[in-house]
Homo-oligomer: A and B are copies of this chain.
Amino acid sequence: MEKVEVGFLGLGIMGKAMAMNLLRHGFKVTVWNRTVSKCDELVEHGASIGESPAAVIKKCKYTIGMLSDPAAALSVVFDKNGVLEAVSSGKGYIDMSTVDADTSSNISEAITAKGGFFIEAPVSGSKKPAEDGQLIILAAGEKALYEEAIPLFDVLGKKSFFLGQVGNGAKMKLVVNMIMGSMMNAFSEGLVLADKSGLSQNTLLDVLDLGGMANPMFRMKGPAMIQSSYSPQFPLKHQQKDMRLALALGDETAVSMPVAAAANEAFKKARSMGLGDLDFSAVFETVKHLKG
């Protein structure tokens, strides 16, 4: 796949950074976005424009999708002039959007039925890692396509995993985000307890960062939280949705997860307080002393 022509559908914050990365590393990229103006910067850096998802698929052997949500991911495939119209034997479609396992399966079946190859490949990491090619890629589906896509993944991420059948990428992401949500609650409770017990929250951050639990998330978010600053890196409502979906996965598989369930209710409390659009670290507010 050395420097082959690559299609790219969806130029939001993440998609744009990823497509730029591919251009920088010498790939020829044909882009499409619902709002065409978002393509300008990429064209300046050498990208071509496709008129529609179908046109991109027709032109390129491999096409990446990076859409904002399941509805957009479905629309780009199934709508008129969508991916499905142009997919044919040998074409590869790599959906890197974050969607649920069912959405992924629907897309997979439709593409496979027309002779195409499909992998889902949701990523862990936000804007900065996308720009730096430091994403973690959780791929699942057609193994042969995954192997052919490795040169792309080497540019986009610091590490890619092949997880088996379609749906496993989505599930892995839910498990990771569930652990993240519970950890954020544990951290918030500790920060408030420190404060109310007469201890310095900044010192707690220092102590934590020297010990066995030291991690980038506490290090990066802690100081802002102490300032009640929750500029959204990952919106709380999305974190709560992922916890709900992870708990639903635990419901299917009869896994009792009392700590995640308690954390989920705290995120719901935060939503009821109107904090859903802030960063998920705003769950910290639910632990503080409130007025009725």
Contacts and interface: CB of A to CB of B under 8 A. Distances in A.
Interface of A: 124-125, 136, 138, 158-159, 161, 163-165, 168, 171-172, 175-176, 178-180, 182-183, 185-187, 189-190, 192-194, 196-200, 203-204, 206-208, 210-217, 220, 244, 246, 248-251, 253-266, 268-269, 271-275, 285-292
A265 B250 CA distance: 10
A46 B257 CA distance: 53
A15 to B, nearest CB: 20
Contacts of A268: 250-251, 254-257
B254 A186 contact: no
A234 to B, nearest CB: 10
A290 B287 contact: no
- The prevalent SS among residues of A at the interface is helix
A193 to B, nearest CB: 5
Contact of A215 (B213, B257, B259, B260): B213
Contacts of A180: 212-213
Given A196-B255, A199-B172, A217 B212 contact: yes
Nearest to A182: B186
Contacts of A256: 265-266, 268-269, 272, 287
A230 to B, nearest CB: 11
A285 B290 CA distance: 11
A107 to B, nearest CB: 20
A203 B244 contact: no
Contacts of A193: 175, 178, 246, 249-250, 253, 255, 257
